[in-house]
Structure 1
Amino acid sequence: MSAPIRVMLVEDSLVVRQLLAHIVSRDPRLALVAAVSSGEEALREIHRVQPDVISMDIRLPGIDGLETTRRIMAERPTPIVVIADAVEDASLKISMNALRAGALSVVEKPVGTGHRAYEAVSDEICTQLRIMSAVPVIRRRAIGAERARPVPLPDLPARDEAGVLPTLVAVAASTGGPPAFARLIGALPADFPAPILLVQHMGAAFMDGFAAWLNGVVPLAVEIARDGVRPLPGHVYVAPGDRHLVLGSGGLIAVSDEAPVGGQRPSATALFRSVARVAGPRGLGILLTGMGEDGAAGLLDMRMAGAFTLAEHESSAVVYGMPAAAVRLRAAGSVLPLDLIAPRLLRAVQPGGPR
């Protein structure tokens, strides 16, 4: 049997710290090696206890969780799971910025043992700690700065070269998605000529905050997708928490609570398949960093329908799971580091631009 995963808790509230310690202690696959109350203490203890993963409170006295995350990623890179209050706007903003600084995921703070959601929240915390402990993290570097090796791609149905331009972009990610979206969409102009439909795997309670945060850091208008809305150019429509986002008949947005696809709701594959079906060669699909294989099969449907498809290159992906699955399926027409995707996207939507 493998050794348990070493967990360090960083939480200033004694009550919450004790509750987290209890939650971690119930999982035999986890071992609590330190529970500290401040960022300063975390920075001192990390070299001594050498945790495999860190549970990070974001609202800390002194050095807050965002700055603590930055310093850890610079000094001793370690997988970090942010524990945040999903209803506090300030906490959510700091949490999203912590993801940009190198934290891997964000989960809800635990509720009391008598609360009906206690078991679900506890299970999610332990699951995230276990999964993220296996993610290799390195000192922060400029994402996409490496020279990517060309990825050989197969011959599939070619795009219509008779002037067909993408009229809608579908993009999806999981682990590492928020900072990747900030960089990709942040590199697009406010008058970008197509709407963007976006799927991010994240706890339902955080989706409104994620959309509001993204709206504040990119030039385009970002909002939670609503059923029956016609998507507009220069707008980003984010899948609501625990709802599928698809392109419906007549090109209108549709959101639904239909069954998860491949265990995911929202599902990237559900989104991509709907775009393949409704938009055909006028769609453009992008699959970014994330665990698992969601989106790969749907991206293949888009490519077979004549759409332009892209996957993030391994050199910039925080987790090379979803893009790797797309490459294996030969679903990606191009495979590029993150910082090269926006320029390629801009060329693709311009008349006469390369497909």
Structure 2
Amino acid sequence: MSGSFQSSRRARVLVVEDSAVVRQVLVRLVRDDPRLELAEAVETAEEALRLVPVLRPDVISMDVRLPGMDGLEATRRIMANCPTPIVIVSDASTDPALQVSMNALRSGALSVVEKPAGWLSGPAGGTAIATQLYIMSQVPVIRRRLSAGLPVTPAPVPVPRGLRPRVLAMAASTGGPPAFSQILGALPASFPWPIVLVQHMGAAFMDGFAAWLDTQTPLSVALARQGERLRPGHVHVAPGDMHLLVGPGDEVRLSHGPAVGGQRPSASALFSSLARVAGTDSVGVLLTGMGEDGASGLADLRHAGGYTIAEDRSTSIVHGMPGAAERMGAVCVSLPQGAIASHLLGIAGAPHFAPAEWAPVLEGPMP
């Protein structure tokens, strides 16, 4: 994930970590970064819950495996009582920790990074953690999204006519795991299209993310494999640090090619590949996320006759990616998160008429 936030003051960090060694590493990373300031470092969730309303940190570095209350429950309580940006710092090699990390993201944490392996974790890993803490500290929507009251049932959206999709592509960054959980969780196992999916997340977590997402939906979910054919009712997830492309014959193509817009996997790379091989037979969905990845690819897809959906600002944790697509004229319709699954189901079951009959739902002409 990337961002261009600027701030005139340091972001205050509360470190929650029970391991004294790892806690010292994190404290050092925070103190060595000119963008960050240490608010406090504690070893239990109970201490964190006591200090959050007092210190009002800008961001929390949260371990998931803590003595007593774990990081998942701490995240839930903080988000309910004193919403604060939370970055999960997790051991990517431990399956139980991975599952807790993914559930913490669903409960309101913004991102997950790999726990540093002692003092020798290397400058790159330390910089990545510090950068993630700084970027997430600047996300403002987290402070208001849980105080907006109960979700309102979205009004029905006209179902586009004339589409005969055979594949659905979806992408997200910040806030993506809970969005995918909600949308894919509302689709039945009999959903008629294959789904290809990009989520910006550290490579070490992608196996765990796919396994977790598989528990959230009736669809089958797994990391995509080179050369496999897309199949209905299955979610093919981009592996870590590899582009996921759709090739001729609806085959999965994985690529170590250069990052696109700073991202690998790239949402734009996925959407553009789909534009080339499927065009009018495809649907693209761009969800919450920081930066602009996905916008140009979604424009390619719409230009090729595909139907394109962006998550509305009202539900996006960060409206960067869908907002960029909207500004480019790449979006057929913007929908709140809770309306996307029903809209997809409507498309899948809609009678087929001339494309002109669904043109009025478009927000603007393709440049």
In the TM superposition, 1:308-347 aligns within 5 A as: 308-347=307-346
Q: Which amino acid aligns with 1:320?
A: H
Structure 1 partner of 2:4: none
Contact 1:148 1:315 in 2 (8 A): no
- What SS is found at the alignment partner of 2:278? helix
After the TM superposition, list the runs of 4 or more consecutive aligned residues in structure 1 that deviate by more than 3 angstroms: 141-144, 146-151
Contact 2:154 2:339 in 1 (8 A): no
C-alpha root-mean-square deviation of aligned residues, in Å? 2.0
- What SS is found at the alignment partner of 1:219? coil
**Which whole-Å CA distance do the structure 2 matches of 1:274 and 1:3 have between them?**
42
Uncovered stretches (5+) of structure 1, i.e. residues with no partner: 152-158
> Is 1:200 aligned to residue 199 of structure 2?
yes
Structure 1 partner of 2:137: 133
**Which whole-Å CA distance do the structure 2 matches of 1:178 and 1:141 have between them?**
21
> Is 1:251 aligned to residue 250 of structure 2?
yes
Structure 1 partner of 2:365: none
Cα offset for 1:113?
Answer: 2.2
Cα offset for 1:62?
Answer: 1.1
**Which whole-Å CA distance do the structure 1 matches of 2:187 and 2:150 have between them?**
17
Q: Which amino acid aligns with 2:133?
A: L
Contact 1:287 1:311 in 2 (8 A): yes
Deviations 1:155-207 (A, max 9, x none): xxxx8x6x541100000000000000000100000010000000000000000
* Of 104, 110, 116, the match for 1:110: 116
**Which whole-Å CA distance do the structure 2 matches of 1:301 and 1:33 have between them?**
45
Structure 2 partner of 1:43: 49
Contact 1:303 1:331 in 2 (8 A): yes
Cα offset for 1:249?
Answer: 1.8
User: CA 1:91/1:239 → structure 2, altered by over 3 Å: closer, same or farther?
Assistant: same
Cα offset for 1:112?
Answer: 2.1
**Which whole-Å CA distance do the structure 2 matches of 1:272 and 1:124 have between them?**
27
Contact 2:170 2:195 in 1 (8 A): yes
**Which whole-Å CA distance do the structure 1 matches of 2:190 and 2:44 have between them?**
44
Contact 2:167 2:195 in 1 (8 A): yes
- What SS is found at the alignment partner of 2:257? coil
- What SS is found at the alignment partner of 1:44? helix
Cα offset for 1:111?
Answer: 1.6
- What SS is found at the alignment partner of 1:258? coil
Q: Which amino acid aligns with 2:77?
A: R
- What SS is found at the alignment partner of 2:118? coil
Deviations 1:42-69 (A, max 9, x none): 0111122211000000011111101100
Uncovered stretches (5+) of structure 2, i.e. residues with no partner: 1-6, 359-367
Structure 1 partner of 2:67: 61
Identity, in percent, stands at 57
Structure 1 partner of 2:364: none
Contact 2:163 2:347 in 1 (8 A): no
> Is 1:91 aligned to residue 97 of structure 2?
yes
User: CA 1:143/1:312 → structure 2, altered by over 3 Å: closer, same or farther?
Assistant: farther
User: CA 1:146/1:313 → structure 2, altered by over 3 Å: closer, same or farther?
Assistant: farther
Structure 2 partner of 1:17: 23
Structure 2 partner of 1:155: none
Deviations 1:324-354 (A, max 9, x none): 0011011110100001000110111224168
Q: Provide TM-score, normalisation by structure 1.
A: 0.93
Cα offset for 1:276?
Answer: 0.5
Structure 1 partner of 2:276: 277
**Which whole-Å CA distance do the structure 1 matches of 2:308 and 2:273 have between them?**
14
Contact 1:148 1:337 in 2 (8 A): yes
Q: Which amino acid aligns with 2:102?
A: M
- What SS is found at the alignment partner of 1:2? coil
* Of 120, 123, 134, the match for 1:119: 123
- What SS is found at the alignment partner of 1:349? helix
**Which whole-Å CA distance do the structure 2 matches of 1:323 and 1:139 have between them?**
17
**Which whole-Å CA distance do the structure 2 matches of 1:53 and 1:81 have between them?**
7
- What SS is found at the alignment partner of 1:9? strand
Deviations 1:231-277 (A, max 9, x none): 10000000000000000122211001000111100000000000010
Structure 2 partner of 1:266: 265
Q: Which amino acid aligns with 1:195?
A: P
Aligned residues: 344
User: CA 1:164/1:334 → structure 2, altered by over 3 Å: closer, same or farther?
Assistant: closer
> Is 1:27 aligned to residue 33 of structure 2?
yes
